[in-house]
Chains A and B, each alone.
Chain A
Amino acid sequence: MRNVAIIGCGQTKHSARRRDVNLAEMVGDAVWNALEDAQVTPQEVDAFTVGNMQGFGGVAQPEQWLGDWIGAAGKPVLRVATGGSTGGCVAQAAFYAVASGLYDIAVATAWEKHSDSKEPGATTGLSHVALGNTINMINCGLSFKHLLSMTLVGAAAGVACYQAMYYMYRSGSRVEHLDMVAAKDRRNAAKNKYAHLQWPGCTPEDIAKTEWVAYPFRYGHICPASDGASAMVLACEDIARKRCKKPVWIKGLAAYSDEENQIMSEGAGGIGILDASQQIGATMSAIKAYRMAGIRDPQKEIDVAEIYQPFPNQELIFAERLGLFDEGTAWRALEKGETDINGRMPCDPSGGVNATNAIGSSALQRILECALQIMGKAEEHQVPKEVHNAVATGWGGATNYIAVTVLGDSPY
């Protein structure tokens, strides 16, 4: 297996409605920004991996439309769709393409265009996904009303409510800690020119003043539905060293689909457990990825984390699953400011998914943001310390899919 590095990153500005561009133009912008950053021409790219959340935006075969907008005409294109974790898996697929020796330069790009759905937010897309995921139960004779009485209600948001409640119960944390995470992420996003929800100086008290959506979440806790795209150029070691001053190496990766997910849990005739805060798939992915990366003690060796956290409890849960804090203690580290941009273990200095959620793109952006931190190109949201190793997550599928990627300034 060959070493693989990220040699260029590109993204678009994220906002609620990018009506100025169509889907192909928006993704094209991200890819061209990445190619420019890497100083690579489209002719030099050997292969592309692409993806968004299946069904969102209502374009069934987006790769067909995009091809000649991103420089992929006449080249191999692999489309990946694993729900919210899509971007992480798109990046991992590009890694495999280069690590295998099959291709020398690959471009990974992921996106979402929520505003192409007619209903506010992501309702149309979610309807698509929920229907696809629940049709097996309908076939078994369960009525839709019955499905809604289970934890499926509200899709990822419904699951996240239970997840947050379970986590707060077993860790001893409170809703105030959700306020703190969200406020930190809004503040960080204000330093990231590409981010969607920017709120300079946001305090936990500001978040606590927002209305309830579904307990334990207030409006201020929840991610927006964003339009946007991101892209990265990956290259084999020879090319990376020749073409890039500071290549970022993908040192370890893993993606597990977790059988404890809600849809196949006890309540729905499956063998999984009901506690959505366990996220066993994240633990398994982290162990595998760290071993591959040669990371023995993530608390000492990881310098920054970009965690997929559309809901603030997820930053705490996944930080623990990644071994960045001891079990049930991430909220104490949060209280001490350890996860702040200038803290001991900065979590989501970009503002993360909590501030910007172009779903398909979100997990790729986590990897991209880690790469920017290692390259020292994160500008205003650069963490004020040396970054040697970073870890990125994605969470999706039907709440079951986890992708963990470990990055570093050296391939070893």
Chain B
Amino acid sequence: MSSQSEIVLTKVPVPLVAGFQWSVGELMEKFIKALADRKIWGVKCPECGYVYVPPRWRCGKCYAKLGEENLTELSGKGILLSYATAYVELDGAGSFKDLSEPKPIGAIKLEGADSTLFMPLGEVKPEELKEGMKVEVVWREEPKGELADIKYFKPAKR
């Protein structure tokens, strides 16, 4: 082990802070604001029929222009395509810390949608998760029109 006095280079602090405020665009803004009414908007391509959630205004499949008139409401129910479970999280100081309980995250295809959403899963133990299982959205108590309004997805009641 080298002692402190043997370290030649000293730390040079850099007085820079980088902050960002990305604009999301008009359709995505509508999507976010509609969450306040517990609504999930997708957009359906009038040319090829592909349904995107969240919505976008150019079809990535056939390049047709999409607009507000192509918005379509989705039910908030879907199918779990795949999942992962986190046991640690970042501690904000460059390392990891253990989670008090495991956090499952799922790739979810909503009913009527073609694209996939990645969302936390709740009210379920990791060992109960299964590809293809039905899930449904859980809203936060007082939605405010922000992404955090979707609390998590839970297994759907039969």
B58/A25 in contact, CB under 8 A: yes
B7 within 8 A of A: no
A119 within 8 A of B: yes
B17/A115 in contact, CB under 8 A: no
Q: How far is the CA of A116 from the CA of B21 in the complex (A)?
A: 5
Q: How many A residues face the partner with a CB closer than 8 A?
A: 32
B56 to nearest A CB, angstroms?
Answer: 8
Given contacts A20-B26, A22-B25, is CB(A117)–CB(B60) below 8 Å? Answer: no
B19 within 8 A of A: yes
A118/B24 in contact, CB under 8 A: no
A118/B19 in contact, CB under 8 A: yes
Closest to B65 in A: A32
A45 to nearest B CB, angstroms?
Answer: 11
Q: How far is the CA of A25 from the CA of B18 in the complex (A)?
A: 24
Given contacts A58-B22, A69-B58, A116-B21, is CB(A130)–CB(B16) below 8 Å? Answer: yes
Given contacts A20-B25, A131-B14, A138-B14, is CB(A124)–CB(B20) below 8 Å? Answer: yes
Partner of B28 from the list A22, A118, A143 (CB cut-off 8 Å) is A22
Partner of A18 from the list B15, B21, B23, B58 (CB cut-off 8 Å) is B23
B152 within 8 A of A: no
Closest to A41 in B: B63
Given contacts A73-B60, A144-B15, is CB(A117)–CB(B26) below 8 Å? Answer: no
A226 to nearest B CB, angstroms?
Answer: 14
A127 within 8 A of B: yes
Most buried by A among B18, B20, B26, B60: B18
Q: How far is the CA of A131 from the CA of B12 in the complex (A)?
A: 12
Set of chain B residues within 8 Å of A23, measured between Cβ atoms: 22
Partner of B22 from the list A22, A131, A138, A141 (CB cut-off 8 Å) is A22
- The proximity string for B residues 66-101 relative to A, scoring 1 for CB distances below 8 Å and 0 otherwise, is 000000000000000000000000000000000000
Set of chain B residues within 8 Å of A42, measured between Cβ atoms: 63
Partner of A19 from the list B10, B12, B15, B23 (CB cut-off 8 Å) is B23
Given contacts A128-B18, A131-B16, is CB(A115)–CB(B60) below 8 Å? Answer: no
> Which chain A residues (134-187) contact chain B, with CB distance < 8 Å?
138, 141, 143-144
A22/B12 in contact, CB under 8 A: no
Q: How far is the CA of A68 from the CA of B52 in the complex (A)?
A: 13
A127/B16 in contact, CB under 8 A: yes
> Which chain A residues (14-48) contact chain B, with CB distance < 8 Å?
17-23, 25, 28, 32, 42
A28 to nearest B CB, angstroms?
Answer: 5
Set of chain A residues within 8 Å of B61, measured between Cβ atoms: 68
Closest to B21 in A: A118
Q: How far is the CA of A131 from the CA of B17 in the complex (A)?
A: 11
Set of chain A residues within 8 Å of B60, measured between Cβ atoms: 68-69, 73
B62 to nearest A CB, angstroms?
Answer: 9
B9 within 8 A of A: yes
Closest to A73 in B: B60
A117/B21 in contact, CB under 8 A: yes
B153 within 8 A of A: no
Set of chain A residues within 8 Å of B25, measured between Cβ atoms: 20-22, 25
- 8 tightest Cβ-Cβ pairs between the two chains A and B: A68-B60, A118-B19, A58-B20, A22-B25, A127-B16, A19-B23, A124-B18, A118-B21
List 5 additional contacts besides A58-B20, A115-B23; criterion CB under 8 Å.
A68-B61, A113-B23, A115-B21, A117-B21, A118-B20
- A–B pairs, 6, beta carbons within 8 Å: A20-B23, A118-B21, A119-B19, A124-B20, A141-B10, A144-B15
Name A's B-contacting residues (CB within 8 A). Answer: 17-23, 25, 28, 32, 42, 57-58, 68-69, 71, 73, 113, 115-119, 124, 127-128, 130-131, 138, 141, 143-144
Name B's A-contacting residues (CB within 8 A). Answer: 9-10, 12-26, 28, 56-58, 60-61, 63
